[in-house]
Amino acid sequence: MKAIRLVFLLMIGMMFFYFHYSTQTNASSSAFKIAILPDTQIYAESYPNIFNAQTQWIVDNSQAQNIKFVLHEGDITNKNSTTQWQVAQNAMRKLDGVVPYSVVPGNHDIGTNGSSDTRNTILYNTYFPLSHYSGTSTFGGVYTAEPTKYDNNYHTFSAGGTNWLVLSLEFGPRDPVLDWANQVVSSHPNHRVIVVTHTYMFYDETRHNAGHSWNPHSYGLASGAGGVNDGEEMWNKFVKLHPNISFVLNGHVLDDGEGRRVSIGDHGNKVYQMLSNYQMQTNGGNGYLRLLEIDPVNGTVKASSYSPYLNQYKSDWQNDFLYTNVELGTPAAPTKPVLLDNFNDGNLSGWTIVDEGTISAPSSWSSSGGRAVQASNIYGPDVPSVDNRKGTFAYYNKTAAMNWNNYSVEAILKSTDNDGIGLMFYYKDPNNYYKVDLDSERNFRKLFKMKNGVETTLATSAGAYTVGADMTLKATVRYGKITVTLNGANLFGTVTDSDLTGGTVAMYSWGSQNAYYEDVRVQPANALMTDDFNDNNINGWTVVDEGTINAPSAWSVVRGEVGQTSNIYGPDVSSTNNRKGTFAYYNNSGAFSWTNYSYSAILRSTDDDGIGLMFRYQNQNNYYKLDLDKQRNFAKLFKVVNGVETMIATATAPGYTQGANSNLEVKVIGNQIQVFQDGKDIFGGPVTDNSLTTGTVALYCWGNQNSYFDDVSVYPL
């Protein structure tokens, strides 16, 4: 009888497993799966049977489920002890020769008793040594500065007709590790990249950043050489820079242990970022693991959470979700630069030198070893100068470059002195340009404007550069908005200035003997605008309150995300059209002439009323508006022309999931409007209307306390 019961239970389990997948997915033959193991620390400490059940299930189902790779997100152990490492090794070694896999250290795998007081990973590398992976078919390499360690590693494999690269990075990666990661990803342009690191996303659907609990900066290892980087810093210094990064996966974060968002990188590519961590649940997680089903033919990514220990799936929105219209083929090539000079030809052909300083003149420019070099101490008017400084610069002298606008200029700079070094852009002549000046001795970074020979300081911040170290300086100017980053960190936020309309680029030096420049790159800034609000202000946006109940609105920026926390609305609670709430429109004068574009943003609400986007906005009486309402179960598209509102499309839909990030994209070309929510066409196809032809964009909410907006971008179509 016991045997009969056991067979019956097994049959029920198999039926459940089959039913779950056969009814919830329609995968193509190209689909494959990635299995993700988050935070197994409690299993290694107290429940080795659960750890073994996870990996044994993967082994037993690798072919039936077409599992192509297994990723461990770190915190393999809890106390970094030999006993726990032995448990982990026994469990993970079951995968050997069956499914390729990689591991990465979490904070509990590092330092004394797993405290991450130092970056000591001796036990990690003892039980998961480089030698165990270096001979496998998928192994690609490790961090070159630590050639005997497996702390930072990458693997490659092919699946679904696409080449993939899995890049595993240590807890709170150090700056030099991110430099290496940038090189690895750049050298594999035809691979789609999955980044795995122990912490990156936070449970509030934002990236791990300042003010969040369990931030890498709060651990002892943060004081070590190279420091640490949290999720937001990784995004700015690494992830967003590459067109071929598709996924970032992490564990670590507690609370509900779930979080996700889709962000748009610098090349217009979507990056799917996901947190999964089950350790807070019974038995340290009850054996749940995350499965990603990737289907290149259908362009879908389905996430599910399954426990081999319980033989159960989770069915809530955070553990069972689907992304559609996902780019999963060979990555598109990055935008071709209009200028790329690596000086490997050994000359400065194409550059014109201008000496303005008179002390220690003349300058001494040359090209050597793949770098432009300026070896003179030329400066003026005197040593204490912190503005109106006259040094030397070399500008790119092609005629067409004098008309460049809306671009980014980037270069690797180094100085073995400690005085002024930087870049100039929108250069027309010695009396008209923008200049970024970095000075280590005087501890400043400054952005200047020279207009008709008069210099103005546009922005300044304190900080020195490291003498003798390479640093990547990048300035981006698009439609009167200027951002400057140093090694990926934003120096001044977003600076608004439209006095200069275009020009070429230049390399600049002041009193800096042995200043070096390499890989000078100029690329079009394709976006009409982007705003990630990481400067923690809403500059460039104008707030308009139309509702009168619970007015006024309350817009602010917290941790790089716009929030509107008032319940402002009108005319009444039951309204489903002609609703008057609050909105913030992008107020750049040129934006009112935008015609055909793609407008996207991340939206989130912990309330259940109206939230959405407005576009082709001309004034309060003329615009299009997308309004999503969870409580009233609708998605509606309105036009307002000469103050008269008309609904032009509607769909019965839940509107959105409370507390979850929702990716909205509006594409407007001529008289065709198409709206996507998390990749799904809300209205089933283009909506036709030719009432409004140009206008800017806006963020909108109605009766919706705690509405959040982030990663706003507009690209021309």
Tally Cβ neighbours within 10 Å of residue 648.
Answer: 15
Of the three residues 469, 498, 525, the one that is the final residue of a domain is: 525
**What would the mean pLDDT of 669-675 be, rounded to a whole number?**
96
Q: Please report which confidence band the pLDDT of residue 2 belongs to, taking 50, 70 and 90 as the band edges.
A: very low
Does a structural domain hold residue 469?
yes
Q: Which residue has the tokens 């994209």?
A: 665
- What's the confidence (pLDDT) of residue 5? 37
In a domain, residue 11? The reply is no
Same domain, 152 and 290: yes
Contact of 370 with 342, CB cutoff 8 Å: yes
Domain match, 578 and 449 both:
no
Instruction: Read off the pLDDT of residues 404-463 as tens digits, 9 standing for 90 and up.
Output: 988 999 999 999 999 999 999 999 999 999 999 999 999 999 999 999 999 999 999 999
Query: pLDDT per residue over 388-404, tens digit each?
Result: 999 999 999 999 899 89
Give yes or no: residues 508 and 615 share one domain. no
pLDDT at 655: 84
User: Is 334 part of any domain?
Assistant: no
In this prediction, residue 3 carries a pLDDT of: 38
Asked whether residue 512 falls in the same domain as residue 534, the answer is no
Q: Is residue 622 part of a domain?
A: yes
Of the residues 490, 525, 560, the one at which a domain ends:
525
Q: What is the chain's mean pLDDT, rounded? A: 93
Query: Does one domain contain both 222 and 312?
Result: yes
- CA 494-498-504 angle, to 5 degrees, is 95
pLDDT for 23 beyond 70: no
pLDDT in tens, 295-341: 999 999 999 999 999 999 999 999 999 998 899 999 987 767 789 89
- Per-residue pLDDT of 58-106, as tens digits, reads 999 999 999 999 999 999 999 999 999 999 999 999 999 999 999 999 9
Q: Do 518 and 553 have their domain in common?
A: no
* Residues, the chain: 717
Tell me if 379 is assigned to some domain: yes
Q: Report whether pLDDT(116) > 60.
A: yes
24 lies in some domain: no
Write the CATH number for 369. Answer: 2.60.120.560
Q: What is the pLDDT of residue 265?
A: 86
Query: Is 583 contained in some domain?
Result: yes
Give the C-alpha separation, 231 to 243, whole Å. Answer: 18
- 589 lies in the same domain as 482: no
Residue 308 CA to residue 325 CA, distance in Å, equals 30
The answer on pLDDT for 589 being more than 60 is yes
- Residue 173's pLDDT is 98
Q: Do residues 508 and 618 both lie within one domain?
A: no
Q: What ranges make up the beta strands (E) of 525-632? A: 529-531, 541-545, 555-558, 561-564, 582-586, 597-605, 610-619, 622-629
Tell me, yes or no, whether 440 and 482 share the same domain.
yes
Query: What is residue 22's predicted lDDT score, i.e. its pLDDT?
Result: 35
Number of domains in the chain: 3
Quickly state the pLDDT bin for 551 (edges 50, 70, 90).
very high
Q: Which of 256, 193, 263 is nearest to 231 (CA)?
A: 263
C-alpha distances out from residue 91 to 58, 74, 101, 153, 499, Å: 11, 14, 12, 20, 63
b/e map 427-454, b = 16+ CB within 10 Å:
bbeeebbbbbbbbbebebbbbbbbeeee
Same domain, 474 and 563: no
Question: pLDDT-based confidence at 360, cuts 50/70/90?
Answer: very high
- Residue 536's pLDDT is what? 84
Report helix, strand or coil for 26: coil
The Cα 172–Cα 224 span in angstroms is 11
Least confident among 28-32, 80-84, 100-104, 471-475: 28-32
d(CA 617, CA 84): 60
Domain boundary among 492, 525, 558: 525
Percent of the chain with pLDDT over 90: 85
The pTM for the full model equals: 0.76
| Average pLDDT of span 500-510 | 97
- The band of 21, judged by pLDDT with boundaries at 50, 70 and 90, is very low
Q: Is residue 330 part of a domain?
A: no
Cβ atoms of 185 and 334 within 8 Å: the answer is no
Confidence of residue 651 (pLDDT cuts 50, 70, 90): very high
Q: Are residues 62 and 210 in the same domain?
A: yes
Q: Which residue has the higher pLDDT, 146 or 344?
A: 146
pLDDT score of 7: 36
CA–centroid distance for 268 within its chain = 11
pLDDT of residue 639: 98
pLDDT tens, 188-212?
999 999 999 999 999 999 999 999 9
Domain housing 266? 30-323
pLDDT of residue 27: 81
Could you tell me which residues come within 8 angstroms of residue 246 by beta carbon, excluding any fewer than 6 positions away?
192, 193, 194, 269, 270, 271, 272, 326, 327, 328, 331
- At residue 481, the pLDDT reads 86
Label residue 266 by pLDDT band (50, 70, 90): confident
Check whether residue 513 and residue 558 sit in a common domain: no
